[in-house]
Amino acid sequence: MNFFKQICIIIFLAICFWACGSSAINKKVTTEEEPVVIANDSLSYEITIIDPGFTYFLNAIAQPEGFYSQQYLEARNRAWVITWNQRFRNPNQFNTNIYENNIDYQPNIDYGYEVNYKLFNYFLFAQRKYKMSLGGGFRRGRIN
């Protein structure tokens, strides 16, 4: 499980590094943000998202925790991870600055509500920030 923890941390840190470019979301953020930590103590791992604008998105724009069921979040995350990883594996067709790393999200692991909620919202945030769609009809406009 320690190897899984390290892989998750590396993947999400790499995603965060490519996401540090300027955008309309970044212009809204006037103060330095605290990183968003996704952790599950029972699975012994922690992921930190440091993408500028994500904290603002999570606190001001995203639906509150409890709005979606865990089953719904898991289903969306599974679908979006598949799309993300397919694009990662096709660097000639998709921007390698966006799809920089493969995401190891195992459908048979119960990550818990908080992890699924934050991952789901990161996917929403990334779709809006980078003007892309991972499928499922969630690219409803931009954040200015």
Using H for helix, E for strand and C for coil, what is the string for 4-73?
HHHHHHHHHHHHHHHCCCCCHHHHHCCCCCCCEEEEEHHHCEEEEECCCCHHHHHHHHCCCCCCCCHHHH
Q: Domain spans of the chain?
A: 2-129
Closest CA to 126 of 38, 16, 36: 16
118, 137, 86, 46 alpha-carbon torsion, rounded to 10° = 0
DSSP sequence for 107-142: TTS---HHHHHHHHHHHHHHHHHTT---SSS---S-
According to DSSP, the residues that pair with 48 across neighbouring strands are 37
Encode the chain (144 residues) as per-residue pLDDT tens digits: 555 555 556 565 456 555 555 444 444 444 567 767 766 667 666 667 777 898 999 999 999 999 999 999 999 999 999 999 999 999 999 998 888 778 888 889 998 999 899 989 999 999 999 899 998 765 444 443
Residue 18's alpha-carbon distances to 49, 52, 56, 121, in angstroms, are: 11, 11, 18, 17
